[in-house]
Structure 1
Amino acid sequence: MSYFHDTYFVLIDDKYSIFRVLMSFIFLNFKDAMIMDNKSTLKEIEERFDRDVARFANLKTGQQTTLDAKFNMDIITDGILQVYPEIHDVLDIGCGAGNYPVNLLMKANSNANVTLIDLSKPMLSKARERIEKLTSGEIREIKGDFRSANLKECSFDVIIATAVLHHLRDDADWESAFSNCYKWLKPGGSIWIFDLVAHNQARMQELIYTVKYGEYLTGLKDEAYRDHVFAYIEKEDSPRSVDFQLDLLRKVGFSSVDILHKHLCFASFVAFK
């Protein structure tokens, strides 16, 4: 992927070397900025998801372009109920068609309140339709970007963030998003994440993402389908490594983090307030 670099160690022994290193640093940061500028806008992402509701509403398989989708859905929802057997308040950011809260509420003994945030109105409508059959609690829909949501602090037991954080862009964007999630959680609350992740070392990224994940996508259908998925990931997404995210979760205040599962370029993990 174009937003990964090898790391170089340079011995700076003269003014020319200093100038060369400085110019390389400026170039790499300028190139990264240009790449981010070429990513999909929120409106473009919204329009794509408006047309894709059915794929995001399959509870048996989850999103098939993600590895171990059903396994991760189960381990996250089972984990939530293990920690919060009488769960009351759930927030799903980038909820899609509601697979995770549906899976959760099918197993829960309580009538939880559920807040749903998504860019896509058709996704929100589908999620509400499915969830309202499973709880007598309040269901709240918020159409828009979760980063600008006006939510009260200390409101939720759990935040679910699946296949959404890879749309974040620069470091400040990631830190602000995680800080908001921390503020929205009650003391003892937690955020449960499953997403596409990157690898810091360029050759490992090539092996795990381009080769191995590419083989998985080809196996789902064919090479044209693989290329189609790679194209919209390149256009829409800017994933970060597991290490980056776990370190940042700790930085914004989370007291503990745990990796639940990792398979190639997909990982699930949890952080507790």
Structure 2
Amino acid sequence: MSGHDEIEGVAQRYARRAASVDRYHPLRADVMATLQERQRALRALLLDHGCTDPAALRVVEVGCGAGGNLLELLRLGFLPAHLQGVELLPERLALARELLPPALALHGGDACALALPAGSQDIVYVSTVFSSLLDDAFQQRLADAMWRWLKPGGAVLWYDFRVDNPANRDVRGVPLRRVQELFPQGRIAARRVTLAPPIARRVVRLHPTLYAVFNALPLLRTHVLAWVSKPPT
């Protein structure tokens, strides 16, 4: 499969997913519980790796969507002028432009073609992107571009699910062994997060606090939040 074919495939898969957009709305109790859990885990991961002065860090998010993750980084103290996002789908990019401050640079199109200088970024953030890329060669092409943008000592900040979803052929899980294949020079520090969404949807109907109860069982967590460090030299 060519890179162009995979890009077209991604656009088609996201178009099909748009029909169920209400399932991911933050006003849903299960979605809010998931977001809050991930925010806490992200904060802890950043602190664990010495990110105590976020205003000094330069970050680009691959697949920034409508800008929700970048907005979270702003709330954590990252500066708009030091943040960038790249998004393939024009309609999602337009939403991000409405939400985010003008000083935050946003780019449209294929992230692999983004002309970022090598070694210019402290963090490259990627959230539930690689699970939507079904072509191994395209995955590696994107991973190589992300690694090239990173400074020595920088890191890929990764969030994605690690197991296949048999009900959705438009995605596939990305286990940690695959993350290591994509970034063979990287040192991975990872934690399991996110209660399996079908379980989360069911239990929060009974009571929102049951999310934390069920999420206490690591085997029920379907996603990985990881810090993939680039060697300092």
Q: Output the TM-score relative to the length of structure 1.
A: 0.60
Unaligned runs of 5+ in 2: 194-219
Cα displacement (A) at 1:110: 4.2
Distance change (3 Å), C-alpha of 1:39 and 1:113:
closer
CA offset digits 1:32-86 (Å, max 9, x no partner) = x9xxx9997133135447777787674x77993x993432233225533663313
Q: Is the 1:77–1:100 contact (alpha carbons within 8 Å) kept by the matching residues of 2? A: no
Report the Cα distance in structure 1 between the residues aligned to 2:85 and 2:6, rounded to whole angstroms: 28
Equivalent residue for 1:83, pick from 37, 50, 59? 50
CA offset digits 1:141-188 (Å, max 9, x no partner) = 221222332322112111110011112234333322222111111122
Match of 2:152 in 1: 187
Match of 1:156 in 2: 121
1:128 aligns with 2:97: yes
1:245 aligns with 2:144: no
Q: Is the 1:159–1:192 contact (alpha carbons within 8 Å) kept by the matching residues of 2? A: yes
Report the Cα distance in structure 2 between the residues aligned to 1:123 and 1:161, rounded to whole angstroms: 16
Cα displacement (A) at 1:90: 1.4
How many percent of aligned residue pairs carry the same amino acid?
Answer: 19
1:259 aligns with 2:190: yes
Q: Larger radius of gyration, structure 1 or 2?
A: 1
Q: Is the 1:162–1:193 contact (alpha carbons within 8 Å) kept by the matching residues of 2? A: yes
1:73 aligns with 2:39: yes
Distance change (3 Å), C-alpha of 1:144 and 1:46:
farther
Q: Is the 1:91–1:158 contact (alpha carbons within 8 Å) kept by the matching residues of 2? A: yes
Report the Cα distance in structure 1 between the residues aligned to 2:86 and 2:29, rounded to whole angstroms: 19
Cα displacement (A) at 1:92: 0.8
Match of 1:20 in 2: none
Cα displacement (A) at 1:96: 1.2
Distance change (3 Å), C-alpha of 1:97 and 1:45:
same
Distance change (3 Å), C-alpha of 1:184 and 1:259:
same
Report the Cα distance in structure 1 between the residues aligned to 2:87 and 2:76, rounded to whole angstroms: 24
Unaligned runs of 5+ in 1: 1-32, 199-204, 211-229
Report the Cα distance in structure 1 between the residues aligned to 2:81 and 2:62, rounded to whole angstroms: 16
Aligned residue identity for 2:228? A
Cα displacement (A) at 1:271: 0.4
Report the Cα distance in structure 2 between the residues aligned to 1:46 and 1:176, rounded to whole angstroms: 20
Distance change (3 Å), C-alpha of 1:241 and 1:113:
same
Q: Output the TM-score relative to the length of structure 2.
A: 0.69
Q: Is the 2:157–2:226 contact (alpha carbons within 8 Å) kept by the matching residues of 1? A: yes
CA offset digits 1:191-249 (Å, max 9, x no partner) = 11111223xxxxxx6xxx55xxxxxxxxxxxxxxxxxxx2xx31x22333222213432
RMSD across aligned positions (CA): 3.5
Distance change (3 Å), C-alpha of 1:178 and 1:258:
same
Cα displacement (A) at 1:88: 3.4
- Which stretch of structure 1 is more off in the superposition, 98-107 or 48-57? 48-57
Aligned residue identity for 1:73? Q
How many residues in Structure 1 have an aligned counterpart in Structure 2? 198
CA offset digits 1:252-272 (Å, max 9, x no partner) = x22x21013245332211101
Report the Cα distance in structure 2 between the residues aligned to 1:83 and 1:44, rounded to whole angstroms: 39
Q: Is the 1:47–1:120 contact (alpha carbons within 8 Å) kept by the matching residues of 2? A: no
Match of 1:43 in 2: 11
Match of 1:117 in 2: 86
